[in-house]
Structure formats: structure tokens, C-alpha cells
């Protein structure tokens, strides 16, 4: 599943291609896409200019000149494929946007779970979200306040989008390894020093994230530029490395399940 760094990269690519452009064609090409973006709604955005492309958590938000907002969420396997309209459509195209400069922007999605919706101007449609971990003012103090009422383990707490917006399973595990914190440690009992170290670690792993990681898909293919390209999982310190030696202390990396997700950690240097 694309996590915050991947969605941020996708948003930047989309911004370069779409911001300031007029939509001249919008099509839904799969039944699942039509459930969230019916044909009549898709047609209603034609002729409108995209004035801003922004990200909030894992949501991509396209603001139109009439104030409406197009919400995009990649879900499990969504991606952008961007190229000229002269090319053949990319495989697995679910939604197509065409701009006045002849660019086709295709939402491609193998599982067809991705969502595109249009919201009225001023509508409140995002769920409650916490602070963004890449914002300049995000800090250990902000994180500690968000964790104050979280009595359970720290790893699931970090996946609560009301605590940290956009932090996902992989980067939560990586941040806990960097901060030397066991994933079962009680979230609201961590010391100020440990929470500060955790906030710094989360920012570090997000900023150094592989910019082109994602399910072996190439960054360019058949003339299209994809937002999410080939991945190199060798950069992970613990994620997916069960049974391997910890790069820091040499102890074995372990795996447990928390809230239905796999959690990886070092049994030697991550302490409760």
C-alpha cells in the first residue's frame, strides 16, 4: 500500500502536470470507479481549471476554480500514469483525466480499490486527522500530546490517523527501530525523551524513504511516467526482515501481529 512518502511523490508529479490546467475530458472506465465518480459527476467538472493540488495524509486533493474538490485515494495499488493523449491508454486504467495541453492523466489500479470523488465547495469530507509528521512544527511535544490518551501499544497508536496523519505500517516499524522503542511499549507511558526521539525518527525515515518504491512497477513504461516506480527494499532496517540480523546490534529481527498488521522489530535493541 502506498504510504505517505509515496503519496507525497505522486502529489508532486500530479501538481506539475495538472495545476493551472483545464479539464477537457474525464472518464470513469471501471464499475468500481463509477461508484465513487458517476458519469454525470465526472462530466460536471469539464471546463474547470485545477487551481491547486495538495496532499493531506494519504489523500490527494485537487481544488477546482469553482471551489469544489476532487478527492483521490490510491488505497492498495493505485498510481498515476501520465503521458500525451497520443499514446495508447495504459494498462489497468480506471479513471482518465485529459487537460487542455493534451496530457492524459490516468489513475491505474490493479485491484480497482482506488477512489475518486468530487465534493462541494466548503464541504468537510476528510476524517479526523492528526498533525503531519513532515510539517516543520511537528515535534515530540505534539506527538506526546496526541499519545496522552492512548493506553495501548505504541505501534498501533502510530497507525491511528488521529495521532499522526499519513504514517503507515512500514514507516511506523522503521521509526520505532530508529528510536530503539519496542512496539509493545505503552504509548502514553513513554518518557518525554523517548517520544522526542520517536518523532525525530519518524521524520528521518519518511524523509529518506525510497522515492521510487512500489511493487516492481517501472517509473516509466510505454511512454508514460508513473508516480511510483521500482522498489529497493534493501533500505529497510527491520520491515520484512524476520529472522535476519539487526543492522545495529546483530540480534534477530522478529515479527508479531498487532491490530491485524505485521510488526517487525529487533529483539535485542528495541526495549519496552
Task: Give the DSSP letter of residue 189.
Answer: G
pLDDT at residue number 215: 42
Q: Is 5 an active-site residue?
A: no
Given the residues 3, 6, 71, 178, the one annotated as active site: 3
Q: Is 55 an active-site residue?
A: no
Angle formed by the axes of helices 192-207 and 140-147, nearest 10°: 110
Compute the distance between CA of residue 181 and CA of residue 185 in angstroms, rounded to an integer: 7
Mean pLDDT of residues grouped by 10 in the chain (272 residues)? 87 96 98 97 98 97 98 95 96 97 97 97 97 95 96 97 95 97 98 97 87 53 81 76 96 96 97 85
pLDDT at residue number 143: 98
Given the residues 2, 153, 156, 183, the one annotated as active site: 2
Q: Is 2 an active-site residue?
A: yes
Please report the domains of the chain, with CATH numbers, ordered by start residue: 4-119 (3.20.190.10)
Given the residues 12, 75, 255, 261, the one annotated as active site: 261
pLDDT at residue number 221: 76
Given the residues 9, 55, 58, 180, the one annotated as active site: 58
Q: Is 261 an active-site residue?
A: yes
> What is the three-class DSSP state of 10?
helix
The radius of gyration computed from the CA coordinates of the chain, to the nearest angstrom, equals 20
Question: For the whole model, what pTM was predicted?
Answer: 0.91
Amino acid at each position: 500500500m502506498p504510504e505517505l512518502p509515496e503519496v507525497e511523490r505522486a502529489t508532486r508529479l500530479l501538481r506539475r502536470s495538472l495545476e493551472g490546467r483545464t479539464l477537457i475530458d474525464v472518464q470513469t472506465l471501471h464499475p468500481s470507479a463509477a461508484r465513487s465518480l458517476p458519469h454525470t459527476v465526472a462530466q460536471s467538472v469539464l471546463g474547470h481549471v485545477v487551481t491547486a493540488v495538495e496532499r493531506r495524509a494519504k489523500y490527494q486533493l485537487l481544488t477546482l476554480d469553482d471551489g469544489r474538490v476532487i478527492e483521490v485515494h490510491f488505497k492498495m495499488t493505485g498510481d498515476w500514469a501520465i503521458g500525451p493523449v497520443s499514446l495508447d491508454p495504459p494498462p489497468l486504467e480506471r479513471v482518465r483525466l485529459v487537460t487542455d495541453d493534451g496530457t492524459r492523466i490516468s489513475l491505474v489500479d490493479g485491484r480497482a480499490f482506488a477512489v475518486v470523488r468530487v465534493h462541494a465547495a466548503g464541504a468537510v469530507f476528510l476524517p479526523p486527522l492528526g498533525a503531519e509528521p513532515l510539517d516543520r512544527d511537528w515535534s515530540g511535544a505534539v506527538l506526546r500530546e496526541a499519545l496522552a490518551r492512548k493506553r495501548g501499544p505504541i505501534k498501533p497508536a502510530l497507525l491511528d490517523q488521529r495521532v499522526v496523519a499519513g504514517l503507515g505500517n512500514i514507516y511506523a516499524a522503521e521509526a520505532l527501530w530508529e528510536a530503539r522503542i519496542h512496539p509493545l511499549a505503552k504509548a502514553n507511558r513513554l518518557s518525554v525523551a523517548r517520544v522526542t526521539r520517536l518523532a525525530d525518527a519518524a521524520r528521518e525515515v519518511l524523509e529518506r524513504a525510497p522515492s521510487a518504491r512500489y511493487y516492481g512497477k517501472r517509473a516509466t513504461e510505454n511512454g508514460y511516467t508513473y508516480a511510483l516506480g521500482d522498489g529497493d527494499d534493501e533500505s529497510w532496517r527491520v520491515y520484512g526482515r524476520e529472522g535476519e540480523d539487526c543492522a545495529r546490534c546483530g540480534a534477530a529481527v522478529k515479527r508479531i501481529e498487532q491490530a491485524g498488521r505485521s510488526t517487525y522489530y529487533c529483539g535485542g535493541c528495541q526495549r519496552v
